[in-house]
Structure 1
Amino acid sequence: MKTAVVGFPRIGKDRELKFATEKYFRSEIGESDLYNVANTWKHFNITSQKEAGIDFISSNDFSFYDNVLDTAVLFNVIPKRYKALGLSNLDTYFSMARGYQGDKGNVKALAMKKWFNTNYHYIVPEIEDDTKIELVGTKLFDEYDAAKASGIETKPVVVGPFTFLKLARYIGEKKAEDFVDDLTEEYVKLIKKLDDRLTHWLQIDEPYLVMDLTFEDKALFKRIYDKITAASGGVRLLLQTYFGDVRDIYDQLIQYDFDGIGLDFVEGKKTLDLVETFGFPKNKYLFAGVVNGKNIWRNNYENSLEIIEKLKSKTNAKIVISTSCSLLHVPYTLESETDLPEEYKKHFSFALEKLSEIKELSVLADGDGNSDILERNKSLFTGRINSVDEAVKERVANIKESDYRRVPDFDKRAAAQSECLNLPLFPTTTIGSFPQTEDVRRTRQLFRKGKVAKEEYVEFNKNKIADCIKLQEEIGLDVLVHGEYERNDMVEYFGEHLEGYLFTKKAWVQSYGTRCVKPPVIWGDVSRKSPITVEWAKFASSCTDKPVKGMLTGPVTIFNWSFPREDISVKESMLQIALAIRDEVLDLEANGIGIIQIDEAALREKLPLRKSDWYKEYLDFAIPAFRLVASGVKETTQIHTHMCYSEFTDIIPAIDAMDADVITFEASRSDLQILDSLKENHFRTAVGPGVYDIHSPRIPSVDEIVAGVDKMLKRVDDNKLWINPDCGLKTRGETETKASLINLVKAANELRDKYCS
């Protein structure tokens, strides 16, 4: 039985691409040096798959920043403001991703959003009315040619035209229907160029097919693929889907002239039912995604083989064993986890290990496998050590409905908080973290290695906190933060102080561009050992007379940004975390912290892709989990939360139901689109839409911030508006951070003069 991988990680085992790209941004290396690093990892990826016995190996799954952005550049979907900079092709590409501020001009980055239900972020293509869609890029062909020159035939991968048009943002009067024919024609040209190279397969990714599809969506898809499939020539077309099932279009999809269709049997709840009900053509390849591309637990061979056997019995299709989605969402390899005990490590599988799983499944499915392989695999699922805590389970079972409700109601709390805090109109603050400078990272690393004593480490961080408080007072911010110098990551840090978690050394996963995260692993039942942030918050508060926010990560985000358990429900796991963070909230309040921010940056992330599943399968327990965390505080304690880089407009009522007092969120890249939804839904919570983009090195001007806030005030009452950046400042430099915050405060003062007079 043949084997395939949808896509592979590209950051390198030790984040080599990340570090090289950041050196390029700092002008420490040139373009050729950056390409040399990239080429090394492209070659490693395809040769690793070849050596593992994978038959269908992807190329063009590599990216310097994002594959959707790559597709935009491939087809000349580059807004005029970026072309006008006159930069090199590579720097134009990076200006779209990060913005640009220099002697060539000053432009913001394109919008950035979450990639379906993952923690990966994609750059939103922007199509202007006069955009000339044209196949101008060569990256896809260059990477295919390079692989072929090394003796490896690959299937080039490209984001499909349907998904591209559905995700794009249209600037002007025209919509997707106005560009569909031009874009389709350029995809036909792409296929022709591959045909000239005698390319065997092209993988066209269409993940948008797992969404709720309208009649118009299906008509758009048909309009595109009637032309593309008719023009495939000698290139076989693989239509690849992932992150769910394609129930709205499956019966039509199998009628199209694709040579292969990739289906997700992990997250696709109805995928197997669809195949059993409607069948699958015997003349096509069925790429069966049975190996989870998003989680790190070993594959249960019995379950996967059961699916494969059902497919064999129900169809005469040529079955290919594949990943459920790209392995971009898991770390490179377990080989780097030298400190993880074997009794834990044997349960995990990262990208390289999943290649072996795919190959073993193919052998077992053919009936040629060693029975010992199957028995060893079975033994992994008979129980795990140290995973059950009866006290935690009992505490969850004893949660009462009243534990989810905060009293008094919102309006009474708002009045009490206003009197207690006495903040000015348009209060200014930041989201939490300040720049993690080299000395911060180095000292933390030395402390972890035992080369810096705990007392010395605590003193170092207290000095950083004191300096951070002093800087914020000098700048003139109203509500201060301690800077989070003690934290390596907003989720991993809390996981390290909770029972039930495991941690890795080098299990890095790309979140966006050069930003990588190392998600902790939820191994067992979760509880809090002891206070986590209280001493840091108390010290910061002692350094100033201004209010200092206690900074926590919420239960939904901690869960969503961890590798979750698969042996208990999402709801139970999330409630365990919520109770642990609730304990921390109450301890902060008891120690005099009157403003507590509980970040839920990832609230939207695991929202089911189909609206019919939103509440029963997620919001009905995710929103109460947040309320459980905050429900025990006094009316004068102000609860903040923060969300970023997701589309929240369609779940505004659920966000309001979180019953927070202030919500800050990303708005700088999305032109404040969420504010219209807030107004339409009579949103009661005070809001802080981000006034500048922290994922870009640009420094916003005072006029730019004032103009943005003026737009906000058309949708939000002035007494409910906070002024803040759109996310934490951890990844930014000190100079740009200080300059940006100075301008933010100047803008707030101008606005107070303007609206208070």
Structure 2
Amino acid sequence: MVQSAVLGFPRMGVLRDLKKANEAYWAEKISQADLLAEGKRLRLAHWKIQKEAGVDIIPSNDFSFYDHILDHIQLFNAVPERYRRQKLSPLDEYFAMGRGHQKGDVDVPALEMVKWFDSNYHYVKPTLQDNQTFALAEDPKPVREFLEAKEAGFHTRPVLVGPVSFLALGKADRGSKVDPISLIDKLVPVYIELLKQLKAAGADHVQIDEPVLVFDLRPEVKAAFKPAYEAISAQASEIPAITIATYFGDIVHNFDVLPAFANLHGLHVDLVRHPEQLEPVLKQLGPNQVLSAGVVDGRNIWKNNFQKSLDLLHTAIKALGPERVVVATSSSLLHVPHTLASEKKLPADVYEWFSFAVEKVKEVAILAKAVVDPESVRAELDANAAAMKSRAESARTNDPAVAERQAQVTDAMHHRQSDFETRYAKQRTHLSLPLFPTTTIGSFPQTNEIRIQRAKFTKGEITAEQYDEFIKKEIDLAIQIQDELGLDVYVHGEPERNDMVQYFGERLKGFVFTTHAWVQSYGSRCVRPPIIVGDISRPAPMTVKESKYAAERSKKPMKGMLTGPVTCLRWSFPRDDVHQSVQCQQLALALRDEVLDLEKNGIYVIQVDEPALREGLPLRKGPERDAYLKWAVNSFKLATAGVQDSTQIHSHFCYSEFQDFFYAIAALDADVLSIENSKSDAKLLKVFEDEAYPRHIGPGVYDIHSPRIPPESEIRQRIQEMLQYLRPEQLWINPDCGLKTRKWDEVKGALTNMVKAAQYFREQYANKA
């Protein structure tokens, strides 16, 4: 018998139930008991879905109110003291670490949040001290949720983030110098205690995620595996069987740490991302170890190609036998929407191409049956083959006009007319900017009224003319507020936009869209990624009307706001039948047309955001990474390089630890970069000093993901830190990111303090001059 397994299930619920409950709790509209009850309801519903689909191994402890790494921070009592001393309830302390807390006498910012490997999910970084200790929390969450499932009739496999990955993904707190991995000997005994409690509760099997095994590991991290897992394995009779799970890459280059796993039950590998690792992994497994074969994609929405998956599974069974092979998702299904059944408006011809979490759970169970008894699921196999054929032959897929235009791209199209010094001299005259110019990243609050009017327009309850008039009034309000605040470069606020990728996808040929296919990005923030189903082109201008209207009413330069080609690609569900470089170039050509149209209509500052550039970077150094950076950089330059010297190109990066590929950031040749910086302890700034970056930079001076309003003194301190690495004439003053998730009172308070801080330094340096 071949078993089936799911590594994790989405948390939000079919209608973003958890998002709504969290936000109601934060707004004090529901009680803590109400929120906890909603969490329990969702967990039970998700276990039921998997059991009814026929999955053999169902996860627990994959649910989280905010983030699974944040769960482990609290689980191991690795909470920084600044949160402890606020005397908050455990739940409020938890949320304070994730999103900050500013109420009454309590004022603490959130912990740093960065991208989870190469996904668009964000995790909260473990933040550790020189004198760090660990202790298992009372009533540990993994044990509590295992028992909750057991009581409801579900025998689950608890999921833990492994000790090496937990530390390797962490950082030293500000003022501390500890290398987190050096704490491994302190942390492992806490894991062992937790595993013993799980065993006592009745758990016979545990999934320990060690995803850092797909990285090029530092020697110190690599060396931590053997003693950690030898210590855990020494307790084999008192702890559950363990499957080590890896995903998002191959582990062949880290085979030398696998002997430490000799006493372990099994190893999970991602055969969607790297199917070529199957053969070497099969040879590496011990004589009794189980292979968990990740053949159902946990990262994309395309229906599984059963024939390709069965070919891999047959290879594994031939080597190991059916009892030593588990059919599994490639990773947690956290990264895909809840269910395709919610989609009532997808075109009929593409509906059968897709599979969301509920459907992927069924695919896992079907494959486990098909690999040993295909006739028992013959109808499902035939339907799958028909869907594969339909997609391959669809007229949606290929557009000859797009291919012809791509063939005409020349190298000259990737380069600006002049070097930076020449064009900045023209920009300075053209735009009349002061020292320490202030701006925002683009979006302003998406208020309830904006959402209501957008919904009415979508439903046909108001006309296009009525909606346009409403949008104009919102733009007028945004300009008025920026006038009052005293900003130097304005934005129109993006009231007409639903999402920074979806908005553009809806105006491009080659995309389809969902109505309920939400995916968690961080905390309660959910996104609804567009789906690329065919070649991409721009039928008409996408942003010119609103930007032109705003520019004509603005006293200051108005920024045009676009989402870059790499981010449009990465924050959509891309095609899996065409290389991503081809899709990205198509997006770049569409955006090039938009950039030139903005310039023709009086927009001389144009921001093309690329926050996903780091996210798309292959996880290991080598030819694949070099090739990615080449086509990603060229795509950005193709989109932006056609403008005149006097037009200023900006780009924005958030949650980008780009120290290891800074040369590619510089190669974008943007006139101004803005970067998330407020929670990075200025570590990103040093790279600009080390590399002697010649152009202009706006490191974020405050965290927009928190409702907290930073005082002027705090922003001054951040600017002072920046001036240790950057020249005054280089420095722009801006928030970390867009402000669409904040409320207007929060925005006005924070920006008022930001502008005052900029004016202070403007005066200081004017006096020095």
Q: Provide TM-score, normalisation by structure 1.
A: 0.98
Q: Deviations over 1:276-314 (max 9, x none)?
A: 5x3423411211000000000010111111111111223
Aligned: 1:292 with 2:294: no
TM-score, length basis structure 2: 0.97
Please give the alpha-carbon distance, in whole angstroms, between the structure 2 residues aligned to 1:207 and 1:315. 24
Deviation for aligned residue 1:755: 1.5
Q: Does the alignment pair 1:354 with 2:364?
A: no
- Paired with 1:129 and 1:610, the residues of 2 have a C-alpha distance of 29
SS state at 1:709 partner: helix
Of residues 354, 370, 383, the one that matches 1:376 is: 383
Cα RMSD, aligned residues only: 1.2
What is the Cα deviation at residue 200 of structure 1?
1.0
Is the 1:247–1:270 Cα contact (8 Å) retained in structure 2? no
Distance 1:418 1:625 in 2: 27
The answer to whether 1:157 aligns with 2:164 is no
Contact 1:549 1:593 in 2 (8 A): yes
Q: Does 1:511 align with 2:521?
A: yes
Q: Which of 321, 326, 332 is the equivalent residue of 1:326?
A: 332
The alignment partner of 2:756 has SS state of: helix
- Relative to 1, partners in 2 of residues 1:163 and 1:542: Cα closer, same or farther, differing over 3 Å? same
**Structure 1 Cα separation of the partners of residues 178 and 559 of structure 2:** 45
Equivalent of 1:672 in 651, 669, 682: 682
1:548 aligns with 2:546: no
- C-alpha contact 1:135 1:186 (8 A) present in aligned 2: yes
Q: Does 1:367 align with 2:377?
A: no
Q: Give the Cα–Cα distance (whole angstroms) in 2 for the partners of residues 275 and 80 of structure 1.
A: 43
Query: How far 1:567 moved relative to its partner?
Result: 1.1
Could you tell me how far 1:616 is from its partner in structure 2?
3.6
1:728 and 2:731 matched:
no
1:281 counterpart residue number: 286
Partner of 1:83: 84
Contact 2:222 / 2:257 at 8 angstroms: preserved in 1? no
Partners of 1:554 and 1:6 lie apart in 2 by 32
Instruction: State the Cα deviation string for residues 156-215 of structure 1 (Å, max 9, x = none).
Output: 111110001101111313323542111000001011111211211111111001001243
Equivalent residue in structure 2 for 1:587, among 597, 600, 616 = 597
- Sort the Cα spacing of 1:69 and 1:381 in 2 relative to 1 into closer, same or farther, 3 A: same
Which residue number in structure 2 is paired with residue 24 of structure 1?
25
Distance in 1 (alpha carbons) for counterparts of 2:231 and 2:351: 49
Identity %: 46
Aligned match of 2:309: 304
- In structure 2, the CA distance between the partners of 1:690 and 1:610, relative to structure 1 (3 Å rule), is same
The answer (yes or no) to whether the contact 2:168–2:181 under 8 Å persists in 1 is no
Measured after TM superposition, the shift of residue 234 of structure 1 is 4.7
Q: Is the 8 A contact 1:101 1:698 kept in 2?
A: yes
- Following superposition, the deviation at residue 367 of structure 1 comes to 2.6
> Aligned-pair distance for 1:263?
0.8
Deviation at 1:385, TM superposition (A): 3.6
Q: Which deviates the most, 661-670 or 384-393? A: 384-393
1:491-549 Cα distance to aligned partner (Å, 9 max, x none): 00000000010000000000000000000000111000101110100110111221000
> Which deviates the most, 19-28 or 375-384?
375-384
Amino acid at match of 2:144: D
Q: Which runs of no fewer than 5 residues in structure 2 stay unpaired?
A: none
How many Å separate the matches in 1 of 2:709 and 2:109? 10
1:397 aligns with 2:403: no
Q: Deviations over 1:90-126 (max 9, x none)?
A: 0000110111112232111100000001000000011
1:575 aligns with 2:585: yes
Please state whether the residue corresponding to 1:73 is helix, strand or coil: helix
**Offset at residue 368 of structure 1 (A):** 3.8
Of 127, 143, 146, the match for 1:144: 146
Paired residues for 1:96-175 under 5 Å: 96-137=97-138, 138-171=140-173, 172-175=176-179
Change (3 A) 1:561 1:701: same
SS in structure 1 opposite 2:622? helix
Establish whether residue 192 from structure 1 lines up as the match of residue 202 from structure 2. Answer: no
Which residue among 606, 629, 632 is the counterpart of 2:616?
606
Q: Distance in 2 between matches of 1:265 and 1:350?
A: 18
* Deviations 1:633-660 (CA, angstroms, capped at 9, x unpaired): 0000000000101311111110010010
CA contact (8 A) 1:213 1:248 kept: no
Distance in 1 of aligned mates of 2:279 and 2:606 = 47
Of 404, 417, 423, which residue of structure 1 is paired with 2:427? 417
SS in 2 for 1:248: helix
Q: Helix, strand or coil for the counterpart of 2:328?
A: strand
8 Å Cα contact 1:289/1:322 also seen in 2: yes
2:292 partner SS = strand
Would you say the 8 A contact 1:166–1:208 is kept in 2?
Answer: yes
SS at match of 1:547: coil
Residues 1:7 and 2:8 are matched in the alignment: yes
Which secondary structure state, in structure 1, belongs to the residue aligned with residue 114 of structure 2?
Answer: strand
Structure 1 SS opposite 2:462: coil
Partner of 2:639: 629
Amino acid at match of 1:449: K
Displacement after TM superposition at 1:231 (Å)? 1.2
Seen in structure 2, the aligned counterparts of structure 1 residues 130 and 275 have a Cα distance that, compared at 3 Å, is: closer
How many residues of Structure 1 are paired with residues of Structure 2 in the alignment? 756
What is the alpha-carbon distance in structure 2 between the residues aligned to residue 635 and residue 729 of structure 1? 29
CA distance in 1, matches of 2:754, 2:219: 46
C-alpha contact 2:181 2:221 (8 A) present in aligned 1: no
Aligned-pair CA distance for 1:350: 0.1
Q: Counterparts in 2 of 1:144-543, with a 5 A limit?
A: 144-171=146-173, 172-232=176-236, 233-250=238-255, 252-253=257-258, 256-268=262-274, 270-276=276-282, 278-316=283-321, 318-369=324-375, 370-382=377-389, 383=392, 384-543=394-553
Residues 68 and 234 of structure 1, relative CA distance in 2, 3 Å threshold: closer
Could you tell me which residue of structure 2 aligns to residue 692 of structure 1?
Answer: 702
- 1:217 Cα offset (Å): 2.3
- Cα distance in 2 for partners of 1:614, 1:427 equals 39
Q: State the 1:615 CA deviation.
A: 3.6
Paired letter, 1:353: E
* CA-CA distance at 1:352 after TM superposition: 0.3
CA contact under 8 A between 2:595 and 2:640: conserved in structure 1?
Answer: yes
- Matched residue of 1:90: which SS? helix
Distance in 1 (CA, whole Å) between partners of 2:239 and 2:485 is 64
* Residue 614 of structure 1: how far off its partner (Å): 5.0
Tell me the distance in 2 between the aligned counterparts of 1:354 and 1:157: 19
- Contact 2:214–2:247 under 8 Å retained in 1: yes
Distance 1:153 1:391 in 2: 55
Distance 1:198 1:154 in 2: 10
